[in-house]
Structure 1
Amino acid sequence: MPIIIKRNTGWLGVASKIQIKLNGQRIGSVMEKKHIEVEIPKGKANLEVTRFGSNSNKIAVKDGDVIEITSTIFYRTIIPLIIPISFLISLIPNLTYKLIIFAIFFALIVISQFFFKIFNLKVVTNKTSQHP
């Protein structure tokens, strides 16, 4: 019995695919509000997702699991802050300072995606344990 992986990450990153890894091997990808069914070897496996270097927690899955991919609170908080912080940086009168501060801010955003989990995986149900 396959597992079902549903993506529900919201509007952030809606135009890009999330790569799915099963036991460390890339097995496919999924777009926002879509799902993918995956057969897993030996009835259980380890699952994680990645996108542009960012990643998720790793979870153990078994036959019949339904897994939901969501974005983390960190990601939902930090990414929307880019626009107002960029606006505030644009108010700095000195162009050199403006460019330096913007470069540091941008670098921190990019680097943070490698150190913090951007996606969260959780088992929402197991189809084999449901009763009719």
Structure 2
Amino acid sequence: MIVQEVKDMLRPKYEGEDLQHIIYRSLVRIKRNKFLYLNIIAWTDAAEKRYLRGKLQDLLMDFLRMYAAKRYGISNRNLRRNMLNIYSQVYFWLVTDCQESVEDMYHNLLIIVPSMEGHRCSFERKLKY
């Protein structure tokens, strides 16, 4: 259930919706449904938590990889670092009862976005300059 919920959050709601809007919309939804997520965390055992964490991280990694690829991408190593950073910040925000405002959390996550905007050289990009 939670995996499908996260897939829904990461799916653009309209053509061309950018990462910033998806992040903000997702944070609003997480805060609105925080009791659902907190109950899932509280009622699952360690093995289920490991499984869910792996599935959620895979979903987030796939989403970020797709986003980065459209912008000339970054290395998988750096992309994974960004994914783990986003995941851990959102998880901590959730388990601390979303005490920080959505806006503050949004700005914390926005710091990560420029590093995924593609600073790698590509043959096509070199031809344009």
- Regarding TM over 0.5, the answer is no
Normalised TM-score (structure 2): 0.33
Structure holding more helix per residue: 2
Larger Rg: 1
Normalised TM-score (structure 1): 0.32
Structure holding more strand per residue: 1
